[in-house]
Structure formats: structure tokens, C-alpha cells
Amino acid sequence: MKHLFCLFLLAGLLPTLRAQVKPYMTEEPFTSTKQPRQGAACYGKLLFQFHNANPLIEIYDLKQRRRIQQIELPPEPVIHCNNVNFGSRKFDRKDKLPLLYVSSERDQRIVVYRVTESNGRYAVQKVQTITLPNSDEASYYYTNLIVDGKNNKLWITGYTRHSWNKADNGNQLRYVQFELPDVSAGDVSLDYAQCISEFRLPFRVATQGAVIHKGRICQAFGCKQQETNFIIINPRTGQVEQEYGIGLAGITEEPEGTFVYRNKLMVVTCVPGNIYYVSDFVKK
């Protein structure tokens, strides 16, 4: 009887045990700023981890699972750095890394950085600002970038109402595609009337990091465990093809940056900076 009871007990625990996901790695503590981690972008084995207000860029070697450098910048409170992507174009053909695109989210700007390297040390230089239309005039709020480097396209994602956490008044997610401005054009402004395509999806709480992978928009959402999820969208059809529960995998942290390392989707969390494989989340 005790043996049978133990089997029932074990069977009841199996879903919980399966949900206890271990991270690939945990980012290291930082002391030069109190601003939390936000978006992140990966190129090769290098992960560029950004923070709210953009005072600090941490650079990690994902293969060695350790931080190799920190770049301190003058903080700008209006830059939330909610999403960060590498493109495919380089500022100079001799550059080792392509251009790096950073969402401000709060003031309708995209900051473009050139990343340079000398003797194993990296530096960034702002080389372009892409300005989006006024949120109220365009009815488009909390806007963030998604760079399609392979096709040199730029997606802008955000909400149709002035809220990222409420579905009131028909609030929806909106995705608008443009040609990616060439850096040689200098600072530019986008006009939504000149978009290539557009689609909308039902409301989800808190857009987080997003990346293009295998022709799909791959994006994290949510802050609290019961609402955190990850979706894969076909931009040609505007339909969600796959959804994963992040909180369902036992992860209590807020997802932030989304990136691809060794052809696998990964997500980094705000605190403590855990990095997880999307494949370890729970398929819905």
C-alpha cells in the first residue's frame, strides 16, 4: 500500500519537476548602475546586454559563459532599450560586427550604433537616429524595433492604445514593416504611410524582446509569471504559429531580451539575468 501511495505521490509531482527549468547561464552582478537589464542582442558568441536609460552595455562571451567587458555611457532616461537587434549591414566593410539597433520606446526613436573592436576591447559610436511619428498622431504607442537583417527590413511593433498592460478600448498589438534605412542617409524620419505591410494581433501584456529567426518574428511578453509567454509569428500571414508558456515552465522572472545563439532562440530575464532556451518553455 505504501508503495502504491508513493507512486501516486510521484505522479503528482512529475508536472512540477518537469517545470523546473535550469538556465543556460546567469549573467554576473553589476555595480556601476542601478538601472535594470533590458534588451540584448547576440552576434556570434558575443551578447550585448543593455540596461534601462542606456548607462551600461555588458558584453558576454556566451561560449565561456562569462562577462568580458562593460561599456559605460552617459545615461538617457528616455531610452528604455526594450529591444536590441543586430542588422547585417556594417558601417565600414572592415568592421568585425554589423550595426546595432536600439529601441528608445519612450520617445519614438531608434538609436543605431557602430561597434568597433581593438585589441579585444569593444566600443560603440552612435551613427544614426531613426525617428518615428508622434505616438498620439499615429495612435501607436510603446513602439519598438525588430530588425530583419537578412532582407534589410525594419518592423515596428507597439500598441494601438496608450497602455501596455490593459486591453481597454480595443487595444491591439500592431506590426508595421518598412525598408531599413541605410546608415549613409544620416538621421531619418519614418512615415507610416510609406510602410510595406502591416498586421495586428490581439492584446498581450508588455511587449518584450523580439528577433527575426528563420523568417519568423519571435517575441516575449509579460511581466508576472501568470502572464509571461513567448510567441512565434509568421509575418506573411500575420498569424501566431507557436506559443510557449514561460511562467508555465516554473520561471518567475520577467523576460527581457530575445536573441539567437548557435541557431537557437534564447531569452534573458531582468533579475537575476538568467538566460534560457525557448525550447525549454512549455508549448501551448
The class that CATH gives domain 34-283 is mainly beta
Cβ contact 152:89 at 8 Å? yes
Element (H, E) at 238: none
Gap between the Cα atoms of 231 and 236, Å rounded: 15
DSSP letters spanning 100-116: EEEE-BSSSEEEEEEEE
Q: What is the pLDDT of residue 103?
A: 96
Give the start-to-end residue ranges of the domains of the chain: 34-283
Q: What is the pLDDT of residue 19?
A: 53
In order along its 284 residues, the chain shows pLDDT tens digits of 434 434 444 444 444 434 569 999 999 999 999 999 999 999 999 999 999 999 999 999 999 999 999 999 999 999 999 999 999 999 999 999 999 999 999 899 999 999 999 999 999 999 999 999 989 988 999 999 999 999 999 999 999 999 999 999 999 999 999 999 999 999 999 999 999 999 999 999 999 999 999 999 999 999 999 999 999 999 999 999 999 999 999 999 999 999 999 999 999 999 999 999 999 999 99
Task: Report the DSSP pairing between strands 207-213 and 197-202.
Answer: unpaired
- Compute the half-sphere exposure of residue 200: CA atoms within 13 Å on the CB side of its CA: 11
Q: Which of 60, 25, 28 lies closest to 43, judged by CA?
A: 60
User: For 79, which DSSP code?
Assistant: B
* Cell reading at 224: 508576472
C-alpha pair distances (Å), 124 with each of 38, 102, 108, 117, 153: 18, 12, 21, 9, 22
Q: What is the pLDDT of residue 13?
A: 40
Q: Which of 103, 124, 122, 116 lies closest to 52, judged by CA?
A: 103
Distance from chain centroid for Cα 155: 13
Element (H, E) at 222: none
Residue 220 has a CB neighbour count (10 Å cut-off) of 29
Nearest 5°: phi and psi at 35?
Answer: -75, 135
